[in-house]
Amino acid sequence: MAEVVVLGAGLGGVLQAYELKAKLGKGDRLTVVSKGSTFHFVPSNPWVAVDWRTRDSIEVDLRPIFARLGIGLITTPAERVVASENAIVLENGERVPYDFLVVATGPDLAFDEIQGLGPAGFTQSICHVDHAVGAAEAFRKFAEKPGPIIIGAAQGASCFGPAYEFAFILDTELRRRRIRDRVPMTFVTAEPYIGHLGLDGVGDTKGLLEGEMRGAHIKWMTSSRIRAVTDGQMAVEHVDDSGTVAGSDDLPFAYSMILPAFRGVKALAGNEGLTNPRGFVIVDKFQRNPTHPNIFAVGVCVAIPPVGKSPVPVGVPKTGFMIESMVTAVAENIGLLLRGQEARYQATWNAVCLADFGDRGVAFIAQPQIPPRNINWAKEGKWVHFAKIGFEKYFIGKIRRGESEPFYERLTLDLLGIRKLKEIHPAA
């Protein structure tokens, strides 16, 4: 009998629990350690931040579902992982031993690396539903007294799609309210060019997104580094190709949402060989930590090197499709190890994403992530907006139903109609 523990109940952790449950033997036990009992669908946070969704509509109470599926749920967060003792110590001091651990803790949001950044400072965030609810409240106040908006992604960020999404969603919402003419908008990003996305572009995301921004009258600043934020003012430095500061701006704002850099969560620290200097979990091609081979990792917490050098550091995004492929590989590998066999499943780490702009959007597929690619495709259109709503409904429904079938692959195939994608997923 084996104790299998998943740490984190976000997008990666919940999918992992569902897929793992189907692979375990009769006597094996599966437990998820989570911060609370609720799952929320992170990709819908931008919609919560403009009141297009309520928080309730994107949250799922995991307790009845896990009880039905026979998955244990511990709702006290982990204080630390003690890899040398194969145990997690919870914040209440209790210990949770494991034979296999899957880390799915997502990002720690590094707001503190820039003075004044984040919900505790002067900018909004959409990374967590709590933040999105706060951002919605701030937006309601802003709409009564409109002024300049700054949207963007800070130095070291690895998640850019949602920043573009949110800029265009705000543009759509402001047009609907007939106040767009009173709102100068600026997009401030660490990316070396618009549409880089941490992936050195996908298809013509540069041309597509620049065109969209020109069309929406959103000005942009690339290779930019935020020095500090004060109430209504953002100090930004512009870095040239040699890495030297070539200029600076003090930008006024009445509303701002900036995605921060990510790092690994504190609970993983202090374990030799488990994480890289930024706190992300080091994994081999089977999603397994080389130093602690009974620890696997999926999702944003996984260490992935950047695609190349840029004047201001940017990281690689980890999107749902990629995360699901990690989840499937881990479920298969732990299943094999429990039956005395060797791990052999590998995740694809490809990027597939739908970026919603409120009434249209851009979809892209990067396979592999690092160029040159076999599939390097991006398209825009109204259909992306409706496809994204389809994704949301389907995904939240899947979490509620407790389905173990991989989801992104099937839906991507259905929605994009590109059967060729099957070639790029190992489970296909």
Could you say whether residue 267 binds ligand FAD (CB under 6 A)?
A: yes
Number of residues engaging ligand FAD in binding (CB under 6 A): 32
Which of 371, 350, 360 has its CA nearest to residue 420? 350
Could you say whether residue 43 binds ligand FAD (CB under 6 A)?
A: yes
Nearer to ligand FAD, 239 or 255 (CB): 255
Q: For the purposes of burial, counting CB atoms within 10 Å of the CB of 145, is it exposed (0-12), middle (13-18) or buried (19 or more)? A: exposed
Could you say whether residue 104 binds ligand FAD (CB under 6 A)?
A: yes
Nearer to ligand FAD, 127 or 239 (CB): 127
Encoding tokens for residue 404?
């173990």
Three-state secondary structure call for residue 231: coil
Could you say whether residue 78 binds ligand FAD (CB under 6 A)?
A: yes
Please give the angle made by the CA atoms of 401, 405 and 406, to the nearest 5 degrees: 115
CA distance 374 to 395: 28
Catalytic residue at 127? no
Could you say whether residue 42 binds ligand FAD (CB under 6 A)?
A: yes
Could you say whether residue 271 binds ligand FAD (CB under 6 A)?
A: no
CA distance 135 to 141: 10
Nearer to ligand FAD, 271 or 319 (CB): 319
Residue nearest to ligand FAD (CB): 10
Could you say whether residue 17 binds ligand FAD (CB under 6 A)?
A: no
Q: How many CB atoms lie within 10 A of CB 269?
A: 12
Could you say whether residue 320 binds ligand FAD (CB under 6 A)?
A: yes
Torsion of CA 342, 343, 345, 350, to 10 degrees: -150
Annotated catalytic residue within 314, 353, 365, 396? 353
Q: Could you tell me which stretch among 31-39, 57-65, 328-336, 338-346 binds ligand FAD (CB under 6 A)?
A: 31-39
Nearer to ligand FAD, 78 or 239 (CB): 78
Could you say whether residue 325 binds ligand FAD (CB under 6 A)?
A: no
- Give the nearest distance from C-beta 83 to ligand FAD in angstroms: 14
CA distance 349 to 326: 7
Annotated catalytic residue within 159, 209, 234, 375? 159
DSSP structure string for 111-135? GGGSBT-STTTTSB--SSHHHHHHH
Could you say whether residue 265 binds ligand FAD (CB under 6 A)?
A: yes
Helix (H) or strand (E) holding 235: strand 233-239
CA distance 108 to 261: 9
Could you say whether residue 106 binds ligand FAD (CB under 6 A)?
A: yes
Residues taking part in catalysis:
159, 353
Q: Which residues bind ligand FAD (CB under 6 A)?
A: 7-13, 33-35, 42-43, 45, 77-78, 104-106, 126-127, 159, 162, 265, 267, 299-301, 319-321, 323, 353
